[in-house]
Structure 1
Amino acid sequence: MPATAFPDHTHASAPAAARPALAAIEGKQGFLPSAAARMATSPEVLGGFLKMNALFESTTLDRLSREVLSMTMATRNGCHICVAMHTGILTALDADPDLIAALREAAPLGDERLEALRRFVLAVLATNGAVGEEALDAFTAHGYTARNALEVTLGIATYTLSTLANRMTGAPVDGPLTRFA
């Protein structure tokens, strides 16, 4: 698809319904990422992602687990922007560099609990949610709950939307994220 189909919108060029979201993103991040500027072509998609992301961030999954899910989705779906963004977040969280490297390589994780989550995410995707009792038991045996299992589906939905939109629009890694590309 031609790059002009998904321009880097500014506050002036974006559809009116997307402008408040773009202003909020720029205020929070200090710049307007191309991914958001291009996603603004559809205010519903931009707003939907932001709402879904806020809901996912409010789940009972701990912060590191949410980031493991996000990076698992980013590498699985080949979203260079999400890999860079979540590498930056993990770095800010002082995550183990070996954990970050394994996530970036879609390799097994040294931490058994986080590896159980990564495997569960992949099992949910591979089975379209029809995970068996064995997969659920392997997940919950590491301290996760049935509630967390359902929250994983919210994370998968959130990061399916963003990774596919970012790939479709061809948005580049920009701003402070370039050092994590």
Structure 2
Amino acid sequence: MFTAHTIASAPSESRPAMERVTEGFGRLPDAVARLAESPELLNGFLEMSAAFERTTLEPVARETVIMTVAVRNDCHICVAMHTGKLRKLGADGEVVAALREQRAVPDERLEAVRQFTLAVLATAGGVAEQDLAAFLAQGYSERNALEVVLGIGTYTMSTLANRLTRAA
């Protein structure tokens, strides 16, 4: 199926990104090794992911978007990796479990992020006014709403590519 590249076997345009990821993780994740077949996809995902990390959404809210997309798209590697990231961020265990099980999160603000993410996905962005109002009522902004869209786009690309390549 898809090749799990090493830095030496990857297309030359993928190698710098692979080296950076390896330095950051201490190893080359299988997903990166497989996505390296397409330098455009690998580099595009990493650039979009970095942009999402720079948004004004707080880290656990960003991870809520990511986990909502990852669980919805059945990307096991993404769920595992972002479960670890949530735990590193100090997220409550019940929040992590709820996200993994696609059920309501016991934190109102994070549940608003989860619900808004699902509404954007279900309506292809044509979110009902009351859904946007519910998100904004939790102290989020219009900027945050657009940042959720960035997260959805970034992690839809990642989850679909990871499933296609059978990344483990």
Q: Shorter-normalised TM-score: what interval?
A: over 0.9
CA distance in structure 1 between the aligned counterparts of 2:42 and 2:19, rounded to whole angstroms: 12
Once residues 31 and 60 of structure 1 are traced to their aligned partners in structure 2, the CA distance between those partners, rounded to angstroms, is 29
After the TM superposition, which residues 127-146 of structure 1 pair with which residues of structure 2 at under 5 Å, given as runs?
127-146=123-142
Alignment partner of 1:58 is 2:57: no
Matches within 5 A, 1:1-181: 3=1, 6-172=2-168
Could you report, residue by residue, the CA deviation over 1:115-173 in whole angstroms, capped at 9, with x for unpaired residues?
A: 0110000000111001121111000000100000011100000000000000000011x
Q: Report SS of the residue matched to 1:17.
A: coil
The count of residues paired between Structure 1 and Structure 2 equals: 168
CA shift at 1:93, angstroms?
1.1
Aligned residue for 1:153, secondary structure, equals helix
Give the match's secondary structure for 2:28: coil
Unpaired segments of 5 or more residues in structure 2?
none
SS at match of 2:14: helix
Gaps of 5+ in 1: 173-181
Tell me the secondary structure at the aligned position of residue 16 of structure 1.
coil
- CA distance in 1 between counterparts of 2:7 and 2:31 reads 14
The list of structure 1 runs, each at least 4 consecutive aligned residues, that deviate by more than 2 angstroms after superposition, is none
Equivalent-residue separation in structure 2 for 1:80 and 1:68 (angstroms): 16
Residues 16-39 of structure 1: CA deviation (Å, up to 9, x unaligned): 000000000000000001100000
Q: CA deviation at 1:50?
A: 0.3
AA matched with 2:166: G
Amino acid at match of 1:71: M
> How far apart are residue 11 of structure 1 and its match?
1.0
Distance in 2 between residues matched to 1:151 and 1:19, nearest whole Å: 29
Distance, in Å, in 2 between the alignment partners of 1:111 and 1:95 is 10
